[in-house]
Structure 1
Amino acid sequence: MKHVIKNDVSFNVTDDKQFAYFWNTVFPNHWEDFTFQVLDHYLHPDGNYLDIGSWVGPTLLYAANKAKHSFGVEPDSVAYEALKKNIKLNSELEEKITIINKALSYKSGTMNLYKRTQFGDSSSSLVQSLSDEFQTIAVSTLKELVREYKITDLSLIKMDIEGGEYLLIPSMQKYLKRYKPPLYLSLHPEFLKSSMIKRCPDYSARKLRKSYIKKVKKLINSLDMYDYIYFSPLKRIEKSKLLQALLKNDAPIELLFTTTPFNLKL
């Protein structure tokens, strides 16, 4: 067992060799600083948290120290087993966490979850990119999930699903428009692009580009209910400029969507 500390939060995790480097070296340092600033800002004891793509628990266990109840969604079987073990090591947090071994998408039933290098490495995705190897997993819509687990009063939704966001976000539009929870979204354009190339090898570069732009536009239009968009605590972008900004970027990027200004005192 290992005791890890991030900012003012600490919890226990297993000493599993597959994840040791992350917990020992990556997590304690400047890994996703903006992510934890967002968690600190929005989470409180009277509100709940939805973590879509929980992996082995870094954000979920952190959030459980702050939110009323934290719901974690993780479809990768290797990551999910590690996540369960990590939660078990924190008895004071266990009753405040619900983990769900499925993916969220635009439909319910089953879908293929593809690996990139190995399952459990935080990069498995519903969009196929590098590998043909997959797990068949259960999937549901957000509407079904919130009804089944009685999820209400969300202070924050965090989503990091390695390209699956392009499938999921448009299907969430009605929910987001009604409740407008702050949304912290990781985008993975390189996953989507490599998936399109793999699925459509006969497409010309022009046709692939046109299809990619269409998918990015659809995602952005599905988030039109949010007035404020942030790349970082100090960098806001206007909605009218978001499309061009995203089309220029192939690296993973985190964005905060809110209905009120993100006034963070640094």
Structure 2
Amino acid sequence: MKNVVKNDVSFIVSDDEQFASFWNVVFPNHWEDFTFQVLDYYLRPDQNYLDIGAWIGPTVLYAASKAKQSFGVEPDPVAFEAFKKNIKLNPQFEPKITAINKALSYKSGTMKLYKRTRFGDSSSSLIRTLSDDFHSVSVCILKELLSDYQIKDLSLIKVDIEGGEYLLIPAMRKYLKRHKPPLYLSLHPEFLKSYMKKKYPFSTEEKLKKDYINSVKRLVNSLDMYAYIYDSSSQRIERKHLAEKLLKNDEPIEILLTTAEFKLNNS
């Protein structure tokens, strides 16, 4: 076991060999600092938090110290077992965490969750990229998840699902338009491009490029209810420039979408 500290929060995690390097090296060294700034800014003890793509629990365990209840959704079987183990190691947070072994997408039932290198490595996805190896997982739409687990009063939704966001976000549009919760979204353009090449191996480069542009624009159009958009340096992105910015970028990118200005004390 290992005690880890982030800002003003500490918790215990299992130092299983597969994840020891993350907890020992990656997590303490400015891993996703903006993510935790967003968590600090929006989470409060009278409202709940939904983490779609919880992995082994770093953000959910942190959020449990801030939010009323934290719901962590994770379909990867290896990551989910580690997630549950880490929750059990923290009895002070365990009652405030609901771990959900599902994937969220545009339909309900069963889908294939593909590994990229190996399961548990934080890159498994509902879209096929490098590997054809898969694990069948239970999937549901957002409406069903919220109903089944009585999830409401959300002060923040985080989505980090390794390319699956291009399937999920358009399907979430109706809920987002109605409730407009702050949304912290990770985008993985390289995964989407790899998926398209695998799915349509005989398509021309021109056709693949057109399909990619359409997928990005579809996602952006699904987020038109948000007036404020920020990148991970907390710089505002004008909504009319969002699609252009995303199409120029092949690296993972995190964006925060809100209906009110996001202003850090030090900005």
Q: Tell me the TM-score normalised to structure 1 length.
A: 0.99
Partner of 1:73: 73
- SS, match of residue 138 in structure 2: strand
Partner of 2:168: 168
- Give me the whole-angstrom Cα distance separating, in 1, the residues matched to 2:62 and 2:257: 21
Alignment partner of 1:265 is 2:265: yes
Instruction: Verify the 8 A CA contact 1:51 1:73 in the aligned structure 2.
Output: yes
Where do 1:19-98 residues align within 5 Å? 19-98=19-98
* Per-residue deviation, 1:134: 0.1
- Give me the whole-angstrom Cα distance separating, in 2, the residues matched to 1:187 and 1:232: 12
Which letter maps to 1:144? E
- Give me the whole-angstrom Cα distance separating, in 1, the residues matched to 2:72 and 2:234: 28
Q: Spell out, residue by residue over 1:210-264, the C-alpha distance to the aligned partner (whole angstroms, 9 max, x if none).
A: 0000000100000000000000353101000011111100000000000000011
Where do 1:1-266 residues align within 5 Å? 1-266=1-266
Instruction: Verify the 8 A CA contact 1:50 1:157 in the aligned structure 2.
Output: yes
- The alpha-carbon distance between structure 1 residues 198 and 227, as it changes in their structure 2 partners (threshold 3 A), is same
Instruction: Verify the 8 A CA contact 1:78 1:120 in the aligned structure 2.
Output: yes
Instruction: Verify the 8 A CA contact 1:111 1:139 in the aligned structure 2.
Output: yes
Instruction: Verify the 8 A CA contact 1:9 1:65 in the aligned structure 2.
Output: yes
Question: Aligned pairs, how many?
Answer: 266
- SS, match of residue 152 in structure 1: coil
- SS, match of residue 161 in structure 1: coil
Q: Spell out, residue by residue over 1:72-94, the C-alpha distance to the aligned partner (whole angstroms, 9 max, x if none).
A: 00000000000000000000100
- SS, match of residue 93 in structure 2: helix
* Per-residue deviation, 1:205: 0.5
Which letter maps to 2:214? K
Q: Tell me the TM-score normalised to structure 2 length.
A: 0.99
- SS, match of residue 250 in structure 1: coil
Percent identity of equivalent pairs: 71
Any unmatched runs of 5+ in structure 1? none
Instruction: Verify the 8 A CA contact 1:230 1:256 in the aligned structure 2.
Output: yes
Taking only aligned residues, the RMSD between alpha carbons, in angstroms, comes to 0.6
* Per-residue deviation, 1:167: 0.2
- Give me the whole-angstrom Cα distance separating, in 2, the residues matched to 1:236 and 1:212: 24
Which letter maps to 1:45? P
Q: Which runs of 4+ in 1 moved over 2 A?
A: none
- SS, match of residue 91 in structure 1: coil
- SS, match of residue 236 in structure 2: strand
- Give me the whole-angstrom Cα distance separating, in 2, the residues matched to 1:222 and 1:140: 19
Which letter maps to 2:29? N
Which letter maps to 2:96? K
Which letter maps to 1:123? S
Instruction: Verify the 8 A CA contact 1:233 1:262 in the aligned structure 2.
Output: no
Instruction: Verify the 8 A CA contact 1:233 1:264 in the aligned structure 2.
Output: no
- SS, match of residue 144 in structure 2: helix
- Give me the whole-angstrom Cα distance separating, in 1, the residues matched to 2:53 and 2:113: 12
Q: Spell out, residue by residue over 1:51-74, the C-alpha distance to the aligned partner (whole angstroms, 9 max, x if none).
A: 000000000000001000000000
Which letter maps to 1:241? H
